[in-house]
Structure 1
Amino acid sequence: MSGPLLKRTLRPIGNSTVNLQFSSSFFSSSPPAEPSPSTKPSISTVVSVLTHQRSKSRWRFLNSLCPNGFDPGEFSDIVLQIKNNPHLALRFFLWTQNKSLCNHNLISYSTLIHILARGRLRTHAKDVIQTAIRAAELEDSDNYSESERFSSSRPLKLFETLVKTYKRCGSAPFVFDLLIKALLDSKKLDSSIEIVRMLRSRGISPQVSTLNSLILLVSKCQGANVAYAIFTEVFGLDCEIEKEHVKLKGRVSPNVHTFNTLMDCFYQDGFVGRVKEIWDQLADSNSIPNSYSYSILMAVLCEEKRMGEAEELWEEMKMKKLELDVVAYNTIIGGFCKAGNTQRAEEFYREMELSGIESTFSTLEHLINGYCDTGDVDSALLVYKDMRRKRFSLNASTLEGLIEVLCAERRLLEALDVFGFAVEDSSFCPTMETFEVLINWLCQEGKIEGAFKLQAQMVGKGFKPNLKIYQSFIDAYMKEGNAEMVEKLGKEMHEIQLS
């Protein structure tokens, strides 16, 4: 892209948006704004039909009036005259699309995007952005070689066109945020980062919510450390921009949601030490930690079984009158369950219910796992029955743990009942270890027919019999004195070992 993109005066509006005034030189490459006198009546007539005809007759009349449709420039001129009615502009666009009456290009798309943005029709604007990028991709496939298509960036072309048409359309600054968010929705991460850099290099910062979404996607795709590097860059924390022509006025600062995103990213990636670093940065910033901030730090303490410090954090939340929500309760309940203190977990669970906070799947899963770890199978079953009542489903690992403790206490029928209820959902797939445990105990109890049925179900779920499964059946037939089946299964097991 040649020449400076944006020259601007920025003034804060609210907390995160800025008002852009672009110089006339910036838009020197914009398309001709005014039609020639000979075409004005036609444009005026179309505008008159759109604004004055009844909705039922306007489209039929327009079709007869303009059977050959419109070129992109004409479309742009028409919608600009009805820009104060963005819903009508959108309907006109959709009509030209459905009737194939305009071969839209980036100029006509951009004009409509600006109109929808200034009319606060954010979802529709993002939809048109997606359409424009797909159209540019098709255009590239027709006009460029494979290497040229690879090097050209359709999102950047749309960005350039939005910049060129910004002033003419009287657009709103967050149109660029909509472009970035639409790209993030499509997982076009590189283009999103490049556009943020181009905006910042010309003194414009996207809204903090847009930057937070960018950081989150970077973390998911490239990890928390890369996300932190992007965080320091897009918020200008790595270096101060001193050059006058790129000095960032109206610069946005990270908010509590930014820091929460980073802490959660590092926690999910297993860098619990970095969570405390981000917490310290949050404390040093102008942002105030909220309940979720405390929950993430509390999760780190619970992970390390530092439950005394976790409770101190809990009391600090109470003192600051922060909301003790379901996330906070689940965090500390899960922490005490992992630490083997199910009694304290129960106390928080009762407090949670008395506070009117509805337990979730995670709440009950924590309790079941905690009871299973301590061998309290009766309490685990009580919570499991509560899960059934609430129509929650066990996940595969929790199911495996519950079945193991039931079988260990020779409560095979209850284990089979739990298993049978779980697999009523055809999409649910137990772990291989669950099948191994149940088949082994069925064989030990001499219920070989039931074990074969379960083994068939196991194969239906995509698992192949392994050595443990074969050994369970061999041991069962040896108890029965069935030498023929022992020999047959022994040969099959030997073949598996050799394969």
Structure 2
Amino acid sequence: MAILKGHRCLPVSPYRQFSINFSLSFHSLPSSSPSDQNPPNETLISSVVSILREQRSKSRWNFIKSLYPDGFSPTEVSQIIIHIRNNPRLALQFFLWSEKSLCTHDLLSYSTIIHVLARARLKSLAQSLIQTAIRLSEINNFDDPDISSKPPKIFETLVKTYRSCDSAPFVFDLLIRACLQSRKIDRATAIVWLLRSRGIYPTISTCNLLIRSVSQLKGCDAGFAFYKEIFGFDDEIRSKLRVTVRPNVQTFNTLMLSFYQDGRMEKVEELWVEMVKFNCSPNVFSYSALMAAFCDEGKITEALKLWEEMRKKQVEPDVTAYNTLICGFCKNGQMERAEQFFRDMTLSEIEATCLTYEHLIKGYCEIGDIDSTVLLYKDMCRKDFRPEASTIDKVVRVICGRGRVNEGLGFLRDVMKRQDFFPSITSYELLIRALCKEGKMEEALQLQLEMVGKGFQPNSEIYGCFIEGYREQGNEEKARDLMKEMLDIGL
């Protein structure tokens, strides 16, 4: 009978080609681009505008519909919206109302209402309509092989209607952000190069969002290359364009975090130096990023110097800054210093997080202090924090390593009971190995059955523990059966 069984990145620079061919100008294009062959009915436009302005009740909608049951063309809707653009919410009401049965909107009417909403800084409403307009433009262009790297069609229409709607460049920030929300990074960057060829730049917040998106989707090197291009640090770009936007502390924080997450600590330090050259004052996030880089490299002294510099410059540390240094001390086994910062944190009325406790617990595990580990875990439970499975694995490992397997098993049971915790297979492996080493084969088998009940199948490590345990007891027959079973199932 079976004993155990069954139981990198794409280059950003190609987008420059768009700026070479871009000929759209806000001052040379006509103020609008009619979407209908028939000219708009000026009398109709004047009449509807008058009704919208003068009638305040809901009856105006029925009145307009009774006068014009055949509805309106997109150009007429566009002209009506332009006339009432100083009342953007009324303009939006009219746009949405006419969409129901009186007008099939096209990119012209969408562009007009988008301009009006952007001009009024009604960001979320404008972005929602931009998303719809992008989808509308793609319905008829889905077979275009280059659609994913071109600006959406709405971009050109927004440019053409820019002057007539008395708009502002902020509308293009909203378009870029809408593309980024849809993870259309190539389309967003194409818009940037097209605008920049006309001397128009996104706001610094949009630039930072672009850099973060490029870094996340294409890697930190691509994000850094984009940073150099957009701010004109590329020699070729500097010679052709007058860059009017400069990086700020958020720009450098975005890049530092990206390189830190990629393990490129030297680049984090380089960006810190570059940030200082630009006279950007580091904030608490900047200090935390560089301190984390130093701590990960074991340079705890350099991290402490940064901490002192931060306090001298009266940059107040937050929970991330404290957690960063606490983690650094724990990794270096300096638990007294870690506890000191933990106390300072409490005195500063900064609430510890689950991560704070996990750093401390792992630190005490590293030096084998089981009692302090268990006390911290209990304190963690009182604050209703849920530990990560990797943290529990470390605690079980250190308890079993001290030969206190029953205590380790009790600890795991307590975690599962208190936190509705689902353990990892690692904790089961550690406990089964310890039980087999002590010759408690029946208890090990019961734990293995529990493990299978949780959905974990025995692996070669588990089989090895039982085989070794039975051999230590002199039970070669069971050891051979398990070896055969293990080979039969391909382990």
Report the AA paired with residue 362 of structure 1: L
Partner Cα separation in structure 2 for residue 54 and residue 357 of structure 1: 53
Distance in 2, Cα, partners of 1:209 & 1:174? 11
1:373 maps to 2:356? no
Aligned to 1:4: 23
- Equivalent in the alignment of 2:126: 125
Tell me if the contact between 2:169 and 2:200 (Cα under 8 Å) persists in the aligned partners: no
Q: How has the CA–CA distance of structure 1 residues 426 and 198 changed in structure 2, closer, same or farther, with 3 Å as cutoff? A: farther
Is 1:166 aligned to residue 155 of structure 2? no
Is the CA contact (8 Å cut-off) linking 2:127 and 2:174 kept in structure 1? yes
What CA deviation, in whole Å up to 9, does each residue of 1:91-145 have, x standing for no partner? 3333344x2543222111111110110111011111111111111111224xxxx
- For 2:124, give the aligned amino acid: T
- 1:15 alignment partner in structure 2: none
8 Å contact kept, 2:231–2:245: yes
Q: Which residue of 2 aligns with 1:186?
A: 182
Structure 2 counterparts to residues 463-482 of structure 1, below 5 A: 463-474=456-467
Greater shift after overlay, 292-301 or 161-170? 292-301
Answering whether residue 283 of structure 2 is matched by residue 290 of structure 1, we say yes
Structure 1 residue 234, shift from structure 2 partner: 0.3
> Structure 2 unaligned runs (5+)?
1-17
Q: CA deviation at 1:201?
A: 1.3
| Aligned-pair CA distance for 1:239 | 2.5
Report the equivalent of 1:44: 46
Q: 1:416 to 1:86 in 2, by over 3 A?
A: farther
Aligned to 1:204: 200
Maintained 8 Å contact 2:119/2:167: yes
Answer yes or no: is the 8 Å Cα contact 1:303–1:335 preserved in 2. yes
What is the deviation of 1:284?
A: 0.8
After superposition, the C-alpha distances for 1:3-37 in whole angstroms (9 at most, x for unaligned) are: 6223xxxxxxxxxxxxxxx42x233663389x968
Matched, 1:349 2:345: no
1:77 Cα deviation after fit? 1.6
Separation in structure 2 between the aligned mates of residue 256 and residue 72 of structure 1, nearest angstrom: 44
- What is the distance in 1 between the residues matched to 2:408 and 2:55? 71
CA distance in 2: counterparts of 1:128 and 1:483, whole angstroms: 74
Which position in structure 2 is the counterpart of 1:69? 71
Q: 1:79 aligned to 2:81?
A: yes
1:67 deviation in Å? 4.2
CA contact (8 A) 2:150 2:186 kept: no
Instruction: Say yes or no: does 1:111 pair with 2:112.
Output: yes
Alignment check: 8 A CA contact 1:393 1:422 kept: no
- Is the aligned partner of 1:214 residue 2:215? no
Residue 316 of structure 2 corresponds to residue 323 of structure 1: yes
Q: Which has the higher contact order (CA 8 A, sep 6+)?
A: 2
- 2:14 corresponding residue in structure 1: none
Q: Which amino acid aligns with 1:288?
A: S
Residues 1:52 and 1:416: Cα distance change in structure 2 (over 3 Å): farther
**What letter is aligned with 2:123?**
R
1:452 and 1:136 map into 2 onto residues whose CA distance is 63
Q: 1:295 to 1:481 in 2, by over 3 A?
A: same
Post-superposition CA distance 1:302-355 (Å, at most 9, x none): 111111121111111111111111111111111111111111111011011100
Aligned sequence identity (%): 52
- State the partner residue of 1:332: 325
1:267 equivalent in structure 2: 260
How far has the Cα of 1:262 moved from its partner?
1.2
Cα 1:111–1:450 change in 2 (3 A) is farther
Q: CA RMSD in A?
A: 3.0
| Alignment-derived partner of residue 253 in structure 1 | 246
**The one of 385, 395, 398 aligned to 1:392:** 385
| Counterpart Cα distance in 2 of 1:92 and 1:425 | 57
Q: Secondary structure at the match of 1:27?
A: coil
Q: Is the 8 A contact 2:148 2:187 kept in 1?
A: no
Letter in 2 for 1:377: I
Is the deviation greater in 74-83 or in 412-421? 412-421
Secondary structure at 1:168 match in 2 = coil
**CA–CA separation in structure 1 for the residues paired with 2:405 and 2:68:** 78
Alignment partners' CA distance in 2, 1:54 and 1:154: 43
- Supply the AA of the counterpart residue of 2:23: P
What is the CA distance between 1:268 and its match in structure 2? 1.1
Matched length: 471
Q: For 1:19-38, what aligned pairs fall within 5 Å after superposition?
A: 22-23=26-27, 25-27=28-30, 30-31=33-34
Query: What's 2:172 paired with?
Result: 176
Name the stretch that deviates more: 338-347 or 463-472: 463-472
Distance in 2, matches of 1:406 and 1:431, equals 16
Q: Return closer, same or farther for 1:32/1:226 CA change in 2, 3 Å cut-off.
A: closer
What secondary structure is seen at the aligned counterpart in 2 of 1:205? coil
CA distance in 2, matches of 1:287, 1:226: 23
Query: Contact conserved, 1:202 with 1:248, CA < 8 A, in 2?
Result: no
Using the alignment, how far apart are the partners of 1:54 and 1:449 within structure 2?
83
Provide closer, same or farther for how the CA distance between residues 484 and 232 of structure 1 changes in structure 2, counting only shifts above 3 A.
Answer: same
1:150 CA drift (Å)? 3.9
- Tell me how far 1:407 sits from its aligned partner: 2.0
